[in-house]
Amino acid sequence: MSGDTLIVINPNSSQTVTDGIKLAIDPLRKFGTPIRCLTLKEGPPGIETQQQGDMTIGPMLRLAASQKDAAGYVIACFGDPGLHALRDQTALPVIGIQEAAVMTALTLGQRFGVIAIRPASIPRHLRAFGAMGVLDRLAGDRALGLSVADLADADKSLGAMIATGKRLRDEDGANVLIMGCAGMAHYRRALEIETGLPIVEPCQAAVAMALGQIALNLSHKGTNDAG
């Protein structure tokens, strides 16, 4: 039997990132489903490469399994580490923020652009977009050259994000932008104002999708009775 709480797991060990996720998803609490955000203590301070993401999968699966009141899960890392492994582990809804952000962006514009953190993040993004079959809708994926920790510093990151967003708009032809990291949420409104484009914050997109699946009793296994 499933519980009543949506579990949002930040697979890195940064409580600052988790606090930002909590703030970003606050508007979605009004739908009534309890939402609990967890930090994976065994994770790296930031996930910027495929290797770092893959190393979080085992601990993340164990953390998810320990949440006995779970009604569903969101993996709050842009790269969706362990997404399919967690779907193997449970029949409850499991949403990755990268997958949800892309699917949301496709409803808001014809060509989406992604603001990545580091160049090393882009190859794993492209592998995921290829697997999703959406590369023909990708306008561009551009890196800020910052770390996850840098995203908490507005002096370092906001200007770079605005400049990158405008390049994706003006040079690449994007008409919707995705924030390519869970640590960017607090800049969404400023980025919308400066670029004039719809901005998809991936944690918001994933939580909204997960709440819908919970309400409709949807599952990738056809039933969530085995949660």
Whole-angstrom distance, CA of residue 151 vs CA of residue 215: 33
Structure tokens at 17: 């990132």
| Residues 118 and 158 reside in one and the same domain | yes
Question: 148 lies in a domain?
Answer: yes
pLDDT(227) > 50: no
Question: 222 lies in a domain?
Answer: no
pLDDT of amino acid 88: 97
pLDDT(224) > 70: no
Q: Which domain covers residue 40, as residue numbers?
A: 5-97+204-216
| Residues 133 and 210 reside in one and the same domain | no
Read off the pLDDT band of 186 (50, 70, 90): confident
The answer to whether the Cα torsion of 34, 77, 141, 147 is positive or negative is positive
| Residues 146 and 68 reside in one and the same domain | no
Q: Specify the amino acid at residue 26.
A: D
Query: In whole angstroms, what separates CA 223 from the centre of its chain?
Result: 24
Whole-angstrom distance, CA of residue 223 vs CA of residue 91: 7
Read off the pLDDT band of 226 (50, 70, 90): very low
pLDDT of amino acid 153: 76
CATH number of residue 86's parent domain: 3.40.50.12500
SS3 content of the chain, % helix, strand, coil (to 5): 50, 15, 35
**Model confidence, pTM:** 0.92
| Residues 12 and 53 reside in one and the same domain | yes
Read off the pLDDT band of 192 (50, 70, 90): very high
pLDDT of amino acid 26: 94
| Residues 85 and 103 reside in one and the same domain | no
Whole-angstrom distance, CA of residue 120 vs CA of residue 143: 9
Question: 223 lies in a domain?
Answer: no
